[in-house]
A and B are shown apart, each in its own frame.
Chain A
Amino acid sequence: MHELGITQNVLSIVLKEAAKARASRVTKVSLKVGEWSTVEPDCLRFYFGILAKGTLAEGAEVAVEQVPVAYACENCGHEYIPLVSVFACPRCSSHKGKLITGRELFVDSIEVENADSSSAKSSGSE
């Protein structure tokens, strides 16, 4: 299983972005993971929980948006979601479908607290 290495990459992207934003804490990490990216979201969350300990991202929520596999037909241009039993284009029956989504694996966004704004917020709510 390669999720450990992948999660290390995720964490390093998150921490780099958090540092750029001068964040004091990362509260949420949003990922886009294709159905065919071969990454198991639960496995990734599990490793993230362990690897993020002692970093700004400790305890951050890991939100995974799964992106379904979609094909575009090279014959007629139709875009469709293939079924396991039928990959052919439902419009023209061509097998010249190219994968257009479903293999993505990226950090979409993060949510952070800044030292200044979080203290301002807490003093404001009191």
Chain B
Amino acid sequence: MQIPVVQKVLAANDLLASEMRAEFEKFGLFVVNIMGSPGAGKTSLIEQTLSRAGDLKIGVVEGDLATSLDAERIAKHGVPVVQINTGGACHLDASMVRKALDRIDVTSLDVLIIENVGNLVCPVSFDLGETARVVVCSIPEGDDKVLKYPAIFSSASVVVLNKIDISPYVSFDLVKFEESVANIGRRLIKISCSSGDGLENWMKWLRTRQV
């Protein structure tokens, strides 16, 4: 006997995420889910953002496997930060973010940045109730990332390419990369967290919050 089921496997996650999204919208909180490989510069981008925030009130949720190293870096900037340790999981899910929200007062914030676990695959499937997704990648990772991981890039609003200052020393075809981002219909912001290049464009995007 066949029984129709038609039930989403991640229904619980998606329901919780949409409840959170509705709540965030109520008090106008812009929630950014930052995704990218380990070492791409997600935490550096957040640090650079905080030091340029001005009167923009930003809070941070830090996802990591086990350490609180990133949260400690963020805390030095004097902003509210919560660490989530996934205990080995490859992504954050909505319930982890929900729990983190108990430890941070988001009602006073303009922007909440969620740093996802370093991974270009698994975070795609898990809605965190975010307003916008951003993928950070970097020159040393190679120029083929968009072609190889289209799912994560297409799920994002903005692609940030970090470490552009070292492009003279690495074989990275910038034109090819720019074309692949344009091809998938996403906006590209080129930055260097060490030289500061391009960060004003990133801040402009964050201030206007145009998804």
Query: Which A residues form the contact surface with B (CB < 8 A)?
Result: 1-2, 5-6, 9-10, 13-14, 17, 21, 23, 31, 36-39, 84-88, 95-97, 99, 103, 105-114, 117
Contacts and interface: CB of A to CB of B under 8 A. Distances in A.
B183 A85 contact: yes
Given A10-B9, A109-B3, A110-B5, A86 B125 contact: no
28 contacts: A1-B122, A6-B9, A9-B10, A9-B12, A17-B5, A21-B3, A23-B1, A36-B150, A85-B147, A87-B154, A87-B184, A88-B183, A95-B183, A95-B185, A97-B185, A99-B154, A105-B10, A105-B125, A106-B5, A106-B6, A106-B8, A106-B9, A107-B5, A107-B7, A109-B6, A110-B2, A110-B3, A111-B1
B203 interface: no
Contacts of A114: 1
A2 B124 CA distance: 11
A2 B182 contact: no
| Residue in B89, B124, B150 with the greatest tally of chain A CB atoms within 10 Å | B150
Contacts of B12: 9
Contacts, number: 91
Interface string B1-35: 11111111110100000000000000000000000
B108 to A, nearest CB: 33
Contacts of A86: 183
Contact of A2 (B6, B125, B150, B183): B125
A5 B93 CA distance: 11
Q: Specify the main secondary structure of chain B where it touches its partner.
A: mixed
Given A17-B5, A109-B6, 14 more contacts: A2-B89, A2-B91, A6-B9, A6-B125, A14-B5, A17-B3, A38-B125, A38-B151, A84-B147, A87-B150, A87-B154, A106-B8, A106-B9, A113-B1
Interface of B: 1-10, 12, 89-91, 121-122, 124-125, 147, 150-151, 154, 182-185
A121 B159 CA distance: 59
Contacts of A111: 1-3
A29 to B, nearest CB: 9
A97 B185 CA distance: 8
Contacts of B150: 36, 84, 87
B4 A108 contact: yes
A108 B124 CA distance: 21
A87 B185 contact: yes
Nearest to A106: B8
B6 A108 contact: yes
A13 B125 contact: no
Contacts of B1: 21, 23, 111-114, 117
Nearest to A117: B1
